[in-house]
Amino acid sequence: MGNIVVSPHDKEGQHHMMATPTSNNPNGGSAATAKNKSEITVLLLGAGESGKSTLFKQVQFFHGVGITHDQERIELIEIVRLNVLENAKNLVAATQHLNIPIEQPENRETAKLIINSLNTNDLEDPSWSKRLYSLWKDAGIQKAYENREKFQLYDSTEYLFENLDRICSDKYVPTVVDVIRTRTKTIGITDMKFDVGDGKQLRLVDVGGQRNERRKWIHFFNTVDAVVFLTSLSEFDLNLYEDNGYWRVKESLRVFNEVVNNALFYKVPFVLLFNKRDLFEKKIATKSFSKYFSGFNEAEEKNPVACIEYMTKLFLNEITEHPLDTVSVKTLSAIDHDNSKQVFEEVKQFIMTQQHRE
């Protein structure tokens, strides 16, 4: 299994993502000895659902890899539909859990089918588009959706339900946006390489974020040249997927602390990305931000800039070992193509200049 190097010019041929992380090789050299090597390894780290893979997919997309090709996206039909089903299932389960009845009898029928027998193949039938949409618009489901901080639900829910008429069709081919929006839990570690000029290659490593996945990160810690740590701004009202009683922000801070203060990263440029800015801005318009942060001035809670500033402080306070001048903080909306492109370009520049300085 060789590593396929992807360059922006490589438009047709090898669009297969390589699957084998090269650091299987224990002689890969440590960060300290590899200042002038031609490959820059950048780790995308962060807790679960912070957007690492979304950014990873966006970067793939800028470089003409994978999802730019229709054929590759066809393979993802299943994932998109699985997302729809999982969202629907979670919503229906939540109505039961939260004691909110689904109002329309026919929607209750649909809900029953979703829980018991519906599979992704059934979604080829366009009639499901209407049924699922009608369920989505049911007052009970909408009420559950408003209370979505009380259970686990993907960020993609609204988007997918609004696009059911395309998805529930036998001619459906996922669009790039569909693929970016759908949630696939990353298991294990994957990477991609692309040229960044100067005869250098950037190797971007994507990892899973849940607790059990984090113990795998250490395999890559010795070959790292830069760390990009993502955290979701909009998780301030949510609990963990893997431990549904643990506040996500607390987990993010804990993971950030562990990573940023790790001795191996002491000399490595570090980028902290506050992701999901778009969702965050929507969320604070309806939800109280200060309710979750006792140290925050309540009067400012509708001001996204103030909120983000507060979050930034909170995270930077965790840094005890890492030199602050090699830490960069940015906000990001990874589902937004232009924004990710711009932010990633900035991140790249930051890393390259830091590399240069050393």
Partner 1 sequence: MGYTNYRGLCDDYPTSRVLAALTLGLYTALVIASLIGQFYKQWKLKTNRIGHREVNYISIARNPTLMVLGTITSYIFTLVQLLRVVISRKLFPCFMFSFTYWMGVPGLAAIILGRCVRLVALTWMNQLKVKIGKRKLLSQSFMLENTESRSLLMDENRVELMSASNVELQSLSGVSISQSFSSIGALMNEDQQDLGPATNVESSSEQKEKKDESIVTRSNNETANNKRNSENSEEIIRLGSSRFDKQKLRMYRFFTSSKFIAILFALIYGTHLIIYFSVGVADYFNVQSGSLEKLQNKKLSFVVGTHLLSEQGCGNGTYNLVVMATYFGAYLILLLGFVIVALFMKNDVWKIKWELSLICVGWLLSTITYAVPSFFSDITTLVDYFFPWQLFLIFGCIWDTFVAHFLPVFVYQRNRNSSKPRDSQSSGGNSSNHIKKCLTSKKWNSKFLLFNEKSYCPEDVMMWNAIEQFKMIKSNKKRVELFRTIVRTYILIGAPLELNIARSTNGIPEIIELCNSINETNLESISISISIFNEIQQVCEHNMVDSFLRFHSEFRKELEQELGIKFEDI
Active centre residues (catalytic): 49, 54, 183, 206, 210
Residue 154 tokens read as 């993907």
CB of 66 to partner 1, least distance (A): 9
CB of 267 to partner 1, least distance (A): 12
3-state secondary structure of 293: coil
Burial class from Cβ neighbours inside 10 Å (0-12, 13-18, 19+) for residue 147 reads middle
Residues in region 206-265 near partner 1 by CB under 8 A: 208, 210-219, 221-222, 241-244, 255, 257-258, 261-264
Binding test (CB under 8 A) with partner 1, winner from 318, 332, 340, 348: 318
Binding test (CB under 8 A) with partner 1, winner from 12, 24, 116, 198: 24
**Contact stretch for partner 1 (CB under 8 A) within 108-116, 132-140, 183-191, 329-337:** 183-191
Write phi, then psi, for 244 (nearest 5 degrees).
Answer: -80, 60
Within 8-62, residue ranges assigned H as helices are 52-62
- Among candidate residues 232, 230, 228, the one with its CA nearest the CA of residue 265: 228
Ligand-binding site membership of 243 (annotated)? no
Residue 25 within binding range of partner 1, rule CB under 8 A: no
Confirm if 69 and 81 have CB atoms less than 8 A apart.
Answer: no
Contact flags string 141-180 toward partner 1, x per CB under 8 A: -----------x--------------------x-------
Ligand-binding site membership of 7 (annotated)? no
- Chain Cα centroid distance, residue 179: 12
Report how far apart, in Å, the C-alpha atoms of 99 and of each of 93, 95, 141 are.
Answer: 10, 6, 11
Residue 166 tokens read as 């395309």
Residues forming contacts to partner 1 in the complex (CB under 8 A) are 1, 16-17, 19-21, 24, 26, 30, 70-72, 74-79, 82, 117, 119-121, 124, 152, 173, 184-190, 208, 210-219, 221-222, 241-244, 255, 257-258, 261-264, 316-324
